[in-house]
Amino acid sequence: MHAAIMSERNHFRRRQNSIEFQNSIPPHAPHWGGVWESPVRSFKLHLRRVIGNGMLTFEVINTLLTQIEAVVNSRPLGATSDSDTNYLSPSHFLIGRPYTLVPESDLSHVNVNKLDYWQHIQNMLQGWRTWHQEYLTSLKNRPKWFRRQPNIAVGNIVIIKESNIPPAKWLMAKVTEIHPGSDGLVRVVKLHTVHGKITRPITKVVVLPKF
């Protein structure tokens, strides 16, 4: 009887607050999760890529997953001000600041059988650059030929796409100049970064939404 009363009260509170809870996702139907399940799929896909057929100990897999968690939660979600370095990431909700990783030398050119215990873990982590690039591509949704997209504008905060940066590192910049073509479409921009001013085509920058 007590359980029934408590269940009815909880149901009333959910209705009162206009909160509707869906049933749990059944097995083999992750697409029911929608947007929030997509990062899980991306995580598992790239984890298979970097591990391959390797057999990892508990210590190795625990260290690798902890570092990958830092990389995934360091991703920029949007710009927070007119500054070219401030952005909001999942880590801000977790620990109140961006995640940081200790810089490591590039091990992609070293044969795997010559790597020691720690270098082997870092070599797998550096393989996470593929996820880094695919995440930036997902932010730059440009459906061709269907509808006209707004031009990039002066003052936009962008992420610069580079192939040789370490995981959890995001090159932020602010658009200072735009160079439209004869058709009025911007194809080249000048950017202000913490290291100075650079010029990039729009294919190498991703505009962040502003909160």
Strand-pair partners of 171: 160
pTM metric for this prediction: 0.70
Residue 126's H or E segment, with its range, is: helix 117-126
Q: Which two tokens stand for residue 33?
A: 């999760």
Q: What is the pLDDT of residue 9?
A: 47
pLDDT at 200: 92
Q: Which tokens is 71 given?
A: 């990389």
The pLDDT score that the predictor gives to residue 175 is 92
Report all structural domains of the chain as residue ranges with CATH numbers, in order of start.
Answer: 39-207 (2.30.30.140)
Which residues are registered as beta bridge partners of 196?
A: 193
pLDDT in tens, the chain (211 residues): 444 444 544 544 445 455 565 556 777 777 777 767 777 777 787 788 888 777 888 988 898 888 888 888 888 888 876 566 678 888 888 888 877 777 777 777 787 778 887 888 888 888 777 787 778 877 776 555 566 778 888 989 899 988 777 777 888 899 999 988 888 889 899 999 888 899 999 889 988 877 6
Tell me how far apart the alpha carbons of residues 106 and 153 are, in angstroms, rounded to a whole number.
Answer: 35
